[in-house]
Amino acid sequence: MKFIIDIHLDLSMNAIEWNRDLTQSVLQINTQEKDLIDKPDRGKATVSLQAMRKGNIGFCVATQIARYIKSNNPLPGWNSPAQAWAQTQGQLAWYRAMEKANEMVQIIDKKGLQSHLDLWSSDEPNKPIGYLLNLEGADSIVTLDHLHKAYEQGLRAIGPAHYGPGTYAHGTDSEGGLGTKGKELLNEIEKLNMILDVTHLCDQSFWEAIDHYNGKMWASHSNCRSLVPNQRQFSNLQIKELISRKAIIGMAFDAWMMIPKWQKGISDPKKSGLVIETIIDHIDHICQLSGNSDHIALGTDLDGGFGKEQCPYDLETISDLQKMDALLKKRGYSENDIQKILNQNAINFLMGALP
């Protein structure tokens, strides 16, 4: 069973906002939620720490996320940046609790990553899941002092925006650039040698960030616009730019990002023919643009506000990512290519990016 790295999971959001005990099995979580209707994915979770261990997914990039919304913004979020900051601190407290319980271990540098990889190559039972912190949307960074505080807490990657207009950049489903505050944030991220996550940036903000930022960057969970025409995906030009910047792109398993014309709450994974193998179409496309498999990772975003109702129908839990091995072989990928996609590209990137 191959070691797998997932570079985008909203673990603390599920624990704190969805009130899921991720130390339980996925079945236990879903059984507890069978009568809940407050969110569309209740009773349809796919992720738990047990399921990750079962699938040999021993390391992930785990998020903190809290959007600040102004009064005219219809998106859900917090009414002040201070509240958003407090929410990320609550999420951090959950990660710390998981560390204390030996369920997880935070990775902040090359040495820690190598030690963790060595542990997961051993026969040690009940190994902790390694995680690297990524802030999805920077609205909670009240001041640049807060950014430095977050770095001290182990934050190593950051996306300036999420959905809609943000404090520092314009995200998915909005239009606009970085502005002065956004450029100041990027300057400070670069000084700290953090990873810039360009995933949710709208096109204008994306290209302004590309022009302004000279450090390491990745797209933790994005697919291909040529296959799924939507601003949330990356165009061929954007993908080529990321390739030239030696970035990695995490493949997202959210149905509407995998196949075109998906209607949230209406389309059905099985009737739509959505299977795990569908993601290989996106992998193939990026490999054709780059001429190699060096820029692909998995950034599944599983349980990122959706569950079984909006992901491949042959995926019961995150442990089914192990099916990628045989599916990639079936599509003609070599053993070396498969290893790169499932873990080595992410390892190589982080070994070049972490202190």
Residues 87-102 pLDDT 10s:
999 999 999 999 999 9
Alpha-carbon distance of 237 to 268, in angstroms, equals 31
Alpha-carbon distance of 355 to 242, in angstroms, equals 22
pLDDT range class, residue 76, cuts 50, 70, 90: confident
Looking at residue 21, its pLDDT comes to 98
Alpha-carbon distance of 231 to 202, in angstroms, equals 7
pLDDT greater than 80 at residue 296: yes
SS3 call for 186: helix
Residues 11-44 pLDDT 10s:
999 999 999 999 999 999 999 999 999 999 999 9
pTM score, two decimals?
0.97
Looking at residue 74, its pLDDT comes to 75
Alpha-carbon distance of 11 to 97, in angstroms, equals 13
Average pLDDT over residues 207-214: 98
Average pLDDT over residues 111-137: 97
User: Domains in the chain and their CATH numbers?
Assistant: 4-353 (3.20.20.140)
pLDDT greater than 70 at residue 247: yes
Residues 180-199 pLDDT 10s:
999 999 999 999 999 999 99
- Going through 204-347 in order, the beta strands assigned E by DSSP cover 217-218, 249-251, 296-298
Looking at residue 71, its pLDDT comes to 66
CA distances for 234 relative to 180, 222, 249, angstroms: 25, 7, 10
Looking at residue 75, its pLDDT comes to 79
Closest by CA position to 177, among listed 199, 160, 190: 160
